[in-house]
Structure 1
Amino acid sequence: MRARHVALAVGLAAVWGFNFVVMDAGLRHYPPLMYAALRFLLAAFPAVLFVGKPRTPWRWVLATGATLGVAQYGLLLLGMRAGMPPGLASLVIQVQAIFTAAFAVPLLGERPGIRRVYGTAIAFGGLALLTIELTGAVPLGAFLLCVGAAVAWGLGNVFMRKASPRTRSGSWSG
């Protein structure tokens, strides 16, 4: 891997991590759902001006927006407001990969290989250990809201795949 690619990956991770600090700061000034709405309004405005109409059915645009925009960020910000620290929230939300794989089986007809099944089982085990370790340190409701945000993100990922013109049949392959 080239040094430039490593630098880009490290930079992206830093921006991603710092994003949670910014969200925590924003929650001091705005209610969680208003903050999520403002975030996406500011992101959507330039897209409407410069990107144009999506080339996919509106049902997928709305489903993706509802899960990724409203549910994911709404639940995440509610969880952070309820006491989930930003660093831990950034870690817990990553279990979206598990939920994406889990939703891909019934909704896309994907057949996971044995490595994915083992990997998912290990990841769920890690989530269970994290839940046990956090008992009392972080409010359970805050933790569950962040896990709910990860569920919404996973479902949104599947909706985006369904929306893709080349995979609209529901298959992962092109």
Structure 2
Amino acid sequence: MRPAHLLLAVLVAAVWGVNFTVIEIGLGHFPPLLFSALRGLDRQGAGTVLFVAWVATVFGFGARGWLLRRHPASTVAPFSLLVPVFGMSSAALFLGESVTPLRWCAAALLTGGVALASVTPRRPAPEPAVPNRLEQPPTPQGAERRPPL
């Protein structure tokens, strides 16, 4: 995966992770039911709705789809594991939530694992151990050929 594509995959995870924090901020200003929420929608509530609708949803899924058209799912999918790291970090940064040292350690391990998996070169798939049943070895002269089972 090219560096720009790696950055895009990490950005998608970051947007989805921050999404949880933005939703929590927004829920403090209006109830979760959309129609009742729209009656008392203020500037911060409108910003929350716009972020969740456009940035997290349209950009997040659009960029993920774009990456999946260019790379195997096994290359793109591990970046989804970064969503909780960005969610926890943004909650600590914007909401003042405390994060224990154990959780920071877990986040570092998770980030390192995704990084290691994304930069490790892929090996070619091994040859199948079971021969194809449709392929038969050549028959000796004079022997009859049987159809495959």
Q: TM-score, normalised by structure 2?
A: 0.49
Q: TM-score, normalised by structure 1?
A: 0.43
Higher helix share: 1
